[in-house]
Structure 1
């Protein structure tokens, strides 16, 4: 449709970001009534609702489509503002989704130069198997994900492989695993788990011992840094990126269990196509610059895709 009201789209994006009409109105310096009127006008134009006014607020399928368009429009506006030397406004933030382990290891160094140059990024954190859902819903413009297949309207770039290994503190091994971790005792040993979406531990056990759908004793530690810290403190066996635990292994704070078993996780960068691909002499868009920075950082930190 060629007559969608940009102000109404801005209200829709703010409502999703803030979670309520009151906070969305405050962010846009409008009254709640004005926000509500713009959304009603948008719904009237479409002939269908875009927001389910429940607690919490939810988007309809039509609302999700419009949210994707609103995000893309915001990113294009940020590019124009940057070229006019007006970039850096907080409302021109660029949302991307990354997994916690990448955020704790290689993503921040990869993006540092852009942030120092004034790019306003909003980092949304989720499991690497679920960051793609944020992109599909239109909540972000790009994501680091294990998903290989590009969505329609998106392009995908392989980043590299992040191997995961099983680790535990020497004290934990001496106390709980004097005979080592093996097929007969893994179900009695506590494993550290990031959250209920995290199945790295089960995948590692399946690969190490040939057990389908293993049942584990789980201790949840929902922070990537705290997860490794808990392993160092002897809370249980952790399955973490080799890149993240390497310094602790070198200092003797952790030891790798079954070093021959490495769980390779291939990561990919997905982003919405916001227009024609830039030619060789064209200036890359802001989202393209984020993708290029992540690809460069991944080449330095990750293993190449086979």
Structure 2
């Protein structure tokens, strides 16, 4: 039997990324925190914590962190079910990872009803859609939106549909930089607007367009979808924007589609644990059904 106090101490160390901060949160000494984690490692005969700055979990620690979070979820949801009217029962803490473009467009319409229906203390972690899965595997989140179709061991991937992106620019920018169309020469001479350095969407779009990889082109990095769109509207560059975000500006003529016959489509999947407690299953069901409706793929 694993000691629950030791488990909670270990999880707090990982969440706070520090033995000192964990001690402050738990209101114990740093030495007590260290002793509990060491005792837990000895009982399991494995190293759980990489003792660096910041502190991180080992592969075994990732497995154990998922276990602790499942215990918390199960306990809190059970208390809420037993005493649904008891306001002293704290909301169930849940962390999920969502790509920034979904968060800026359709995901809030799915999230708000979920929070109205259930007593949750939600933490939404925004990350690039190609990297959210890492947070799930590490035990940092209950579930995540990802472009990866294949689930990790012990997880399930539910197909949600596709996000469509349009390659947009202002009419003036298009006239100045792409008078002869979206050519390789024009791309190499024109500044683009990307989300961040992890964003591979633009590279993949150009490779699909030209049939080969284009490397050396100018890039602005703007890590906020609304501001990225503002940058394109300001005429400082061109870039890929979700169709549902840019449609109004395309209809009004404030933006033009530089590749109207070749939109970029990105499949999305909801990854979650294969053996979820009932409360987590409800969350998964709500997100999957809501996502499919929002993305126009209710029959997935």
TM-score by length of 1: 0.89
| 1:112 aligned residue | 112
Unaligned 5+ runs, structure 2 = none
Structure 2 counterpart of 1:295: 288
Instruction: Flag the 1:203–1:73 CA change in 2: closer, same or farther, 3 A.
Output: same
Question: Could you report, residue by residue, the CA deviation over 1:207-227 in whole angstroms, capped at 9, with x for unpaired residues?
Answer: 222232443211111112211
Compared with structure 1, are the counterparts of its residues 82 and 216 closer, same or farther at alpha carbon in structure 2 (3 Å cutoff)? farther
The Cα of 1:271 is off from its aligned counterpart by 0.8
RMSD, matched Cα = 2.1
CA distance in 2, matches of 1:134, 1:218: 27
Residue matched to 1:203: 204
- Between 1:257-266 and 1:21-30, the stretch displaced more is 21-30
State the 1:104 CA deviation.
Answer: 0.8
Aligned to 1:134: 135
* Residues 86-126 of structure 1: CA deviation (Å, up to 9, x unaligned): 58626x41111111111111111101012234311111121
Deviation at residue 21 of structure 1 after TM alignment: 2.1
Displacement of 1:29 after TM fit?
3.6
Query: In the alignment, what sits opposite 1:67?
Result: 65
Once the two structures are overlaid, the 10-residue window that deviates more, 125-134 or 12-21, is 12-21
Could you list the per-position Cα deviations for residues 32-78 of structure 1 after superposition, in whole angstroms to 9, with x for gaps in the alignment?
33322211210121223211221111222221221121122222122
What TM-score do the two structures reach when normalised by structure 2?
Answer: 0.90
- SS of 1:172's partner is helix
Shift of 1:242: 1.0
Who is 1:231 aligned against?
A: 232
Q: For this pair of structures, how many residues does the alignment match?
A: 295
Deviations 1:123-149 (A, max 9, x none): 112111111111111111211111112
- Is 2:16 the partner of 1:37? no
CA distance in 1, matches of 2:260, 2:61: 48
**Using a 3 Å threshold, how does the CA distance of structure 1 residues 275 and 125 change in structure 2: closer, same or farther?**
closer
The answer as to whether partners of 1:97 and 1:125 remain within 8 angstroms in 2 is yes
8 Å contact from structure 1 (residues 98, 125) kept in 2: yes
C-alpha change, 1:297 and 1:252, in structure 2 (3 Å) is farther
Q: Which runs of 4+ in 1 moved over 6 A?
A: none
Which is further off, 22-31 or 222-231? Answer: 22-31
CA contact (8 A) 2:174 2:258 kept: no
Cα distance in structure 2, aligned partners of 1:229 and 1:35: 47
Equivalent residue number for residue 12 of structure 2: 14
Aligned position for 2:100 = 100
Distance (Å, rounded) in 2 between the aligned partners of 1:253 and 1:134? 38
> Among residues 7, 19, 44, which one is paired with 1:46 in the alignment?
44
Taking a change above 3 Å as real, the CA distance of residues 73 and 260 of structure 1, as seen in their structure-2 partners, is same
Unaligned runs of 5+ in 1: 277-284
Distance 1:179 1:215 in 2: 20
